[in-house]
């Protein structure tokens, strides 16, 4: 799933795959029909609908259905669309749905996401959702946003969807003046999703995006790890610490912080960076703790702290303005166990945080959560699958684009069958990657 917020403009995509949907390791195979649907509420801008057509064509969706209905009827239209696809009979390659409505009226988009996830014909196929809204005070109108996105998609069809969005974020930043609402994508992709095509006789294209973060300055990392009643955490701390040191990060470790100490340690970390004698080019924060169903972390004292508060703390760091800030969160997000879906036991995921239509600017932030909203994050005495796999993947290709590497980490974690403590049946896990990065991030030259 991907999710983008630009002002009150929201772009969301949920993508799920079965193992046989990967044409080759690490890349989705987009074969079959590409279906698209536009649902717009009465009074929606004609320019927005026209711009959507441009994006659809740039992404290879030549035909799409359009319906003008009230927001209250969006769910019924999605049900009808799903039933038509299931009755179609032909193989599907990808589905793209655009929902256009006034600001703040799409309060529970996850229900619409879930509806299309039940489509049997689309099982194993990417499903992309674009949620577009506009109103007074919006940072950018949907039509303008979509026109720019369509131009980039048409110019670089060989780039993956995540690469296209990162490049587009860079353009937004360059064209904006003053405070802006920063785009954020959310992804649980397990392979590169390239909706365009490249002629076979042409050389392999540049992987893009064109801009890359300069990491010539100092690098700092902060680990906050709760080890009480969390066997294996010490192995995660050791493995991640060795990796960070190999990549040039100076690591600060705090064991068993209370909820208040989580915030205090972040504040002190930020103050140390602002007074650092040499420029700082990158910061990494690893948070390892028990967690709750609303995404909160639990300190060693059992009290709660919200990860968003910690992210905002580091976003205020003056020396890190314009530089990447990485957050790794290894924690449960509830008590549910995911058994997966279908005969291959590969799961479908939808995760939406209840957030206001607009959020403060938090540019250049990369957050990685282990597991879905409301689900358990698995770990044993050897450590967690997330941290151990992350270390293996980054060590193998430290110069790779971090979003590509994290997508590979997710693929490996999703393909694991975990034997949970609740029963003998295999369970599944999946990452959620949130990025407002505006350039390529490669941790090693």
Neighbours of 420 (CB within 10 A): 16
Distances, alpha carbon 281 to alpha carbons 147, 182, 270, 317, in Å: 33, 20, 13, 12
What is the C-alpha to C-alpha distance for residues 349 and 16, in angstroms, rounded to an integer? 7
The SS3 of residue 440 is: strand
What is the C-alpha to C-alpha distance for residues 12 and 127, in angstroms, rounded to an integer? 10
385-396 vs 233-246: helix axis angle to the nearest 10? Answer: 20
Whether a cis peptide bond, with omega within 30° of 0, leads into 209 is yes
Pairing of strands 418-419, 426-427: antiparallel
What is the C-alpha to C-alpha distance for residues 321 and 318, in angstroms, rounded to an integer? 6
Q: Are 240 and 391 in contact (CB under 8 A)?
A: yes
Neighbours of 412 (CB within 10 A): 16
What is the C-alpha to C-alpha distance for residues 415 and 259, in angstroms, rounded to an integer? 33
CA nearest neighbour of 46 among 100, 90, 89: 100
CA nearest neighbour of 434 among 337, 356, 325: 325
Q: Which residues pair with 383 in a beta bridge?
A: 380
Q: Are 205 and 18 in contact (CB under 8 A)?
A: no
What is the C-alpha to C-alpha distance for residues 65 and 84, in angstroms, rounded to an integer? 12
User: How close are the terminal C-alpha atoms of the chain, in Å?
Assistant: 29
The residues assigned a catalytic role are 290, 332
Radius of gyration of the chain measured on its C-alpha atoms: 21
């Amino acid at each position: 799933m991907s999710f983008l917020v630009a002002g009150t403009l929201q772009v969301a995509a949920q993508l799920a795959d079965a193992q046989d949907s990967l044409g080759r390791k690490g890349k989705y195979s987009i074969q079959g029909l590409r279906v698209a649907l536009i649902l717009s509420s009465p009074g929606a801008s004609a320019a927005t609908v026209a711009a959507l057509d441009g994006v659809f064509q740039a992404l290879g969706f030549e035909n799409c259905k359009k319906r003008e209905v009230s927001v209250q009827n969006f769910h019924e239209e999605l049900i009808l669309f799903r039933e038509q696809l299931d009755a179609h009979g032909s193989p599907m390659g990808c589905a793209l749905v655009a929902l256009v409505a006034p600001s703040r009226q799409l309060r529970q988009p996850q229900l619409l996401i879930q509806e299309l996830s039940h489509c049997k014909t689309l099982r194993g196929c990417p499903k992309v959702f674009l949620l577009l809204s506009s109103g007074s005070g919006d940072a950018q109108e949907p039509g303008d946003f979509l026109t720019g996105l369509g131009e980039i998609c048409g110019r670089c069809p060989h780039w993956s969807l995540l690469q296209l969005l990162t490049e587009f974020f860079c353009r937004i930043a360059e064209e904006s003046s003053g405070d802006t609402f920063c785009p954020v994508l959310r992804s649980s992709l397990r392979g590169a999703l390239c909706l365009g095509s490249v002629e076979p006789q042409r050389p392999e294209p540049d992987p893009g995006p064109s801009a890359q973060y300069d990491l010539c300055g100092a690098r700092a990392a902060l680990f906050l790890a709760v080890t009480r009643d969390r066997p294996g955490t010490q192995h995660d701390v050791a493995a991640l610490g060795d990796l960070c040191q190999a990549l040039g990060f100076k690591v600060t470790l705090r064991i068993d912080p209370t909820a208040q100490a989580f915030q205090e340690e972040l504040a002190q970390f930020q103050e140390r960076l602002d007074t650092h004698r040499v420029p700082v080019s990158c910061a990494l924060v690893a948070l390892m703790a028990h967690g709750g169903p609303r995404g909160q972390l639990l300190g060693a004292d059992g009290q709660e702290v919200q990860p968003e508060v910690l992210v905002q703390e580091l976003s205020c760091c003056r020396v890190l303005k314009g530089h990447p800030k990485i957050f790794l969160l290894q924690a449960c997000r509830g008590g549910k166990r995911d058994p997966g879906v279908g005969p291959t036991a590969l799961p479908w995921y939808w995760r939406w945080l209840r957030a206001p239509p607009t959020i403060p600017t938090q540019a250049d932030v990369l957050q990685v959560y282990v597991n879905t909203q409301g689900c358990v994050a698995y770990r044993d005495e050897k450590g967690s699958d997330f941290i151990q796999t992350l270390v293996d993947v980054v060590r193998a290709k430290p110069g790779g684009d971090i979003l590509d590497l994290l997508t590979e980490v997710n693929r490996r974690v999703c393909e694991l069958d975990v034997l949970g403590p609740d029963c003998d049946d295999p369970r599944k896990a999946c990452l959620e990657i949130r990025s407002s990065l505006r350039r390529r991030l490669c941790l090693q030259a």
